[in-house]
Homo-oligomer: A and B are copies of this chain.
Amino acid sequence: MALEHALLVALRERPAAGLDLARRFDASIGYFWTATHQQVYRVLGRMERDGWVTSRVVPQEGRPEKKEYAVTTLGETVLADWLAQPLQRDPVRSAVAVTLRGASYGDRDTVLAHVEELIADHRTRHAAYTAMAARDYPDPTALSGQALDQYLVLRGGLLMEETWIAWLTEYAAAHRPAHRTAAQEPR
């Protein structure tokens, strides 16, 4: 539903081929959207059919040629119209939360071990975002326009990672003491 618009934003920032876009969704855009290359190719095909983007074949040195996509004026209009829509809260669908809430119906020690692993993963991601911010936006107060928006969305990624770490840590802490000291919970 909105992958098309995420692609329009990405392509307006810089024209790119399908795989390039898929890689961006793995890396720099990954903190607010994920997409596989299959998905990207299919949606790009539909967008080209509808005239939102055009493609041109670009030969490369020592690599197979690629199809670089760019946004058309129609695509610009479509994006501007979409951006003018009222914002709705993003739908929540957290398998992690389901697991945490249901932990007493399974083996809690296993869940807690997995929570620790997940915390480590979020810490790693947080460190990566911090490094990106320091490298790409050393002086945030000087930013405006697109660069400011990009920085602020990266800030959102950072804040979300911090929240996940705080929440999962609180969850683990609330369960571990009772688990270490009291003999009341046999399993």
Contact = CB atoms under 8 A, between A and B. Distances in A.
Nearest to A172: B152
A105 B150 CA distance: 13
Contacts of A97: 31-33, 153, 156
Contacts of A2: 93, 95, 98
Contacts of A138: none
Q: Is the interface of A mostly helix, strand, loop or mixed?
A: helix
Interface residues of A, number: 74
Nearest to A81: B106
A17 interface: no
Nearest to A33: B93
A92 B32 CA distance: 6
Interface stretch (A42-50, A59-67, A127-135, A159-167): A159-167
A95 to B, nearest CB: 4
A159 B166 CA distance: 9
A100 B34 contact: no
Contact of A84 (B85, B91, B107, B153): B107
B163 A159 contact: yes
